[in-house]
């Protein structure tokens, strides 16, 4: 197993975070992504490896553990994929190209997947710069030593991106919200909060906040927005449809954005999006890129909605009812791509149909399945 090459201390860090994720002591996409990055940074800095495959295995091993610990916190897996992507890129620039895609192994299946061969032949040019040597028998650590600074930088890049994600998502907020508009939002999303506040610097507009039972994140949101001087209304979930006719835009957050352009978002989002569709009101989703999840079939699984404890819906003290009624308390809704008009991310604005391509660009295909043993034939080497 790859974890053998992970040092004890980093293994402990990974375990620790895994438990925290499991116990839901770390919740929320961004918090989970941040924690994951911090752990990964430690793991990489302490890792011993003499070629790229070993390093990838170490990170995958850590990633697998974290993802298995909390498969519903998609940001964890996304962060790991993103780091892997960066590491591979850095490796390619450091070693000057991908030896594995040399022309001799070009085949029809490759042709199908990668397109015409001359498109990628460009990278093979710069062979003259000093290359990092993999699997150096004299000094097995030399590869790691040479690569580590760039790797740390790459991880730092991801970290920086994560830290500035709210600012970057909301930098064009004023272009999306116009004066005197009525915006409907739902629950508590930090991204949407930042977005709306940023727009409020330039425009005067009204926000209708849906309280989003049973978590009532809307209460917090309404407080925060009105404190920022935005004219705010708080309405119950049941009145979403009633107020929709006056709403100019629906702006909501996401928990995870799936490859088909659909998303998981706080319960009630589907309701709001459907109501918006009935009134032809645009639905805008604000989310950081770390929420892009290269997965498809999640929405088929009932449990993908992540069910919490029923106490928020029905108090435990209602003893007689507890015995007779099954209470469900899903955290998320699945919102189909058809109901969403645009995703505003820190990488620009995209229609749902473009998410697929963005995900392809953001992650390497082979990293999409971290937890599956079939995907990584190279992992069996170490």
Interacting residues with other proteins between 208 and 247 (CB under 8 A)? 215, 217
329 binds other proteins (CB under 8 A): yes
On whether the CB atoms of residues 91 and 52 are closer than 8 A, the answer is: yes
Q: Helices 52-69 and 142-163: crossing angle, nearest 10°?
A: 40
25 binds other proteins (CB under 8 A): yes
Strand ranges in 99-154 using DSSP code E only, listed in sequence order: none
Contact with other proteins (CB under 8 A): which of 7, 28, 248, 378?
28
Altogether, the residues listed in the chain come to a count of 382
Q: How far is the CB of 12 from other proteins (least distance, A)?
A: 5
On whether the CB atoms of residues 327 and 316 are closer than 8 A, the answer is: no
31 binds other proteins (CB under 8 A): yes
2 binds other proteins (CB under 8 A): no
Toward other proteins, which CB reaches closer, 90 or 341? 341
Q: Which residues between 253 and 312 bind other proteins (CB under 8 A)?
A: 253, 255, 259-261, 266, 296-297, 300-303, 306-312
On whether the CB atoms of residues 264 and 330 are closer than 8 A, the answer is: no
Q: How far is the CB of 247 from other proteins (least distance, A)?
A: 22
HEC profile of 1-56: CHHHHCCHHHHHHHHHHHHHHHCCCCCCHHHHHHHHHHHHHHHHHHCCCCCHHHHH
CA distance 245 to 318: 38
356 binds other proteins (CB under 8 A): yes
CA distance 268 to 334: 10
Contact with other proteins (CB under 8 A): which of 201, 246, 357, 381?
357
Contact with other proteins (CB under 8 A): which of 175, 238, 316, 373?
316
Strand ranges in 260-371 using DSSP code E only, listed in sequence order: 263-266, 283-286, 292-293, 332-335, 342-345, 348-350
Q: Which residues between 125 and 184 bind other proteins (CB under 8 A)?
A: none
4 binds other proteins (CB under 8 A): no
Q: Which residues between 335 and 354 bind other proteins (CB under 8 A)?
A: 353
Contact characters 97-116, other proteins, x per CB under 8 A: ------x--xxxx-xxxxxx
Q: Which residues between 177 and 206 bind other proteins (CB under 8 A)?
A: 187-189
Q: How far is the CB of 51 from other proteins (least distance, A)?
A: 27
Q: What angle do CA 110, 113, 119 make, to 5 degrees?
A: 80
Q: In sequence order, what are the beta bridge partners of 251? A: 284
Contact with other proteins (CB under 8 A): which of 138, 180, 320, 361?
320
CA distance 124 to 103: 10
Contact characters 42-71, other proteins, x per CB under 8 A: --------------------------x---
Q: How far is the CB of 119 from other proteins (least distance, A)?
A: 8
CA distance 184 to 240: 9
Toward other proteins, which CB reaches closer, 280 or 374? 374
Q: How far is the CB of 180 from other proteins (least distance, A)?
A: 30
Q: How far is the CB of 229 from other proteins (least distance, A)?
A: 25
Q: How far is the CB of 48 from other proteins (least distance, A)?
A: 18
Phi, psi at 233, each rounded to 5°: -120, 145
User: Which is it for strands 348-350 and 342-345: parallel, antiparallel or unpaired?
Assistant: antiparallel
Toward other proteins, which CB reaches closer, 99 or 115? 115
């Amino acid at each position: 197993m790859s974890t053998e090459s992970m040092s004890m201390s980093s293994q402990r860090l990974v375990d620790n975070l895994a438990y925290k994720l499991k116990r839901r002591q770390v919740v929320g996409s961004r918090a989970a992504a941040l924690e994951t990055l911090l752990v990964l940074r430690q793991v990489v800095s302490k890792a011993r490896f003499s070629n790229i495959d070993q390093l990838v295995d170490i990170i995958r091993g850590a990633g697998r553990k974290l993802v298995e610990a909390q498969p519903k916190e998609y940001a964890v897996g996304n962060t790991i994929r993103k780091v892997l992507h960066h590491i591979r890129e850095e490796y390619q620039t450091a070693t000057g190209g991908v030896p594995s895609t040399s022309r001799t192994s070009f085949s029809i299946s490759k042709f199908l997947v990668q397109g015409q061969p001359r498109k990628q032949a460009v990278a093979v040019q710069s062979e003259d710069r000093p290359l990092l040597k993999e699997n150096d028998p004299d000094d097995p650590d030399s590869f790691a030593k040479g690569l580590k600074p760039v790797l740390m930088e790459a991880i730092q890049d991801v970290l920086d991106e994560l830290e500035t994600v709210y600012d970057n998502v909301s930098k064009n907020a004023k272009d999306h919200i116009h004066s005197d508009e009525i915006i409907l939002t739902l629950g508590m999303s930090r991204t949407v909060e930042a977005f709306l506040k940023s727009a409020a610097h330039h425009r005067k507009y009204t926000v209708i906040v849906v309280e989003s039972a049973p978590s009532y994140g809307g209460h917090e949101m309404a407080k925060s927005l009105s404190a920022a001087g935005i004219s705010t209304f708080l309405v119950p979930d049941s009145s979403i449809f009633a107020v929709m006719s006056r709403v100019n835009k629906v702006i909501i957050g996401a928990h995870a954005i799936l490859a088909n352009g659909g998303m998981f978002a706080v319960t009630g989002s589907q309701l709001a999006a459907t109501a918006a569709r009935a009134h032809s009101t645009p639905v805008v989703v604000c989310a950081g890129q770390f929420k892009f999840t290269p997965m498809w079939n999640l929405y088929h699984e009932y449990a993908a909605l992540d069910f919490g404890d029923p106490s928020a819906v029905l108090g435990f003290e209602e003893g007689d009812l507890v015995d007779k009624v099954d209470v469900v308390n899903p955290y998320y809704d699945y919102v189909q791509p058809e109901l969403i008009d645009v995703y505003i991310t820190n990488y620009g604005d995209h229609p749902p149909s473009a998410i697929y391509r963005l995900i392809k660009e953001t992650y390497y295909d082979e990293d999409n399945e971290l937890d599956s043993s079939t995907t990584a034939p190279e992992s069996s080497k170490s």
